[in-house]
Amino acid sequence: MDIKAYIESGILELYVAGTLSKKENKEVYNLMQQHPEILQEVLEIESAIIKLTASASQLKNNDSLQNIKQALGFNINDGSKVISITKPKYNWLTYSGWAASIILALGLLWTINQNNQLRSDIQISETQQSLLETQIANSKNSLIEAKNLISVLRDNNITQVPLAGQGHFADTYAKVYWDKNSQRIFLDVLGLPEPPEGKVYQVWSLKLSPLTPTSLGTIDNFITDENKIFEIENVNESEAFGITLEPAGGSESPTMEQLYTLGVVTSS
């Protein structure tokens, strides 16, 4: 068989076009298996026709393949690409999300801590302030008392009565400042020792003839008072003043064995 003449006849072009009979198709197929040059010829004809027909293709939609796959029920979601693209995104978002929330939490804790610290500072300051206010008030009171005392001491109408130590208590002393107009005395007992427990000093106003003692009261806060000057009411026409040590609560009459100091009012 003349292969070249067979090729030149143009039957292979019609074979590719699909216009041959079944018998002719079978014949070309068998010859292609036997003669590689015939197969090669067919491939080239086919290739040229494919190029030519493809050139008439206009605006072919790229979604067509997806549509076909969908219509055929292909597993079009098998794309591992989709996963590999979304996964790093997901991780990045997650990490930054966690980081942001941790930073936020730390920030909140720090703020709360700061807040508590400041509150405690304010409390300390307030306590200090109230302490200082108390001290100022105390100082003011002390100043008033001191001024009061000074004014008393400077007053001409005040009678001074020194009380001298008696008997065993010769080294003790006291002093009475008697303001007759306002019927009160200021008793300075800095020269007396602290009374033992269960005992108190009792102040007496005395008439000398006959000797009549009148209690002016006990000095109950002797130990706690700082300047040891006590203001005591005195309505008596006193001729002398005495101080005795008595059991707590005081006595009806002075215990003469425990007479510490005694002083007579000298008429001025």
Partner 1 sequence: MDLDQLILKFQQKDERAFESLYNMYSDSMHGVIYNIVRDHNIAEEVMQDVFIKAWHKADTYSSKKGRFFTWILNISRNAAIDKTRSKNFKKSKQNLDANFFVDILETSDSLDNKTDAIGVSKFVNKLAKKCIEVIELLYFKGYTQTEASETLDMPVGTIKTRNRNCIKELRSMVLN
Q: Contact residues for partner 1 (CB under 8 A)? A: 8-11, 13-20, 22, 25-26, 29, 42, 44-61, 64-65, 67-69, 71-72, 74-75
The amino acid sitting at 167 is G
CB of 37 to partner 1, least distance (A): 15
40 vs 116, which CB is nearer to partner 1? 40
Nearest distance, CB of residue 58 and partner 1, angstroms:
5
The Cα–Cα gap between 172 and 192 comes to 5
Supply the minimum distance, in Å, between the C-beta of residue 94 and partner 1. 34
Query: In the complex with partner 1, which residue's Cβ is closer, 9 or 125?
Result: 9
In the bound state with partner 1, the residue whose beta carbon lies nearer, of 20 and 232, is: 20
User: How would DSSP label each residue in the chain?
Assistant: --HHHHHHTTHHHHHHHT-S-HHHHHHHHHHHHH-HHHHHHHHHHHHHHHHHHHHT--S--TTHHHHHHHHHT--GGG-HHHHHHHHHHHHHHHHHHHHHHHHHHHHHHHHHHHHHHHHHHHHHHHHHHHHHHHHHHHHHHHHHHHHHHHHHHH-TTEEEEEEEE-GGGTT-EEEEEEETTTTEEEEE-TTSPPPPTTEEEEEEEEETTTTEEEEEEEETTTTT-SS-EEEEE--S--SEEEEEEEETT--SS--GGGEEEEEEPPP-
38/203 with CB nearer partner 1: 38
Q: CA-based Rg of the chain, rounded to a whole angstrom? A: 64
Looking at beta carbons only, is 75 or 268 nearer to partner 1? 75
Distance, in Å, from the CA atom of 106 to the CA atom of 101, rounded to the nearest integer, reads 9
The span from the CA of 205 to the CA of 184, in Å, is 12
As measured in angstroms, the least distance from the Cβ of 80 to partner 1 is 14
* Least gap, CB of 90 to partner 1 (angstroms): 28
* Residue placing its CB nearer to partner 1 in the complex, 27 or 239: 27
- In whole angstroms, the minimum distance from the beta carbon of 81 to partner 1 comes to 15
Closer by beta carbon to partner 1, 16 or else 206: 16
Between 15 and 204, CB nearer to partner 1: 15
Residue 12's closest CA among 36, 44, 34? Answer: 44
The CB-of-83 to partner 1 minimum distance in angstroms stands at 19
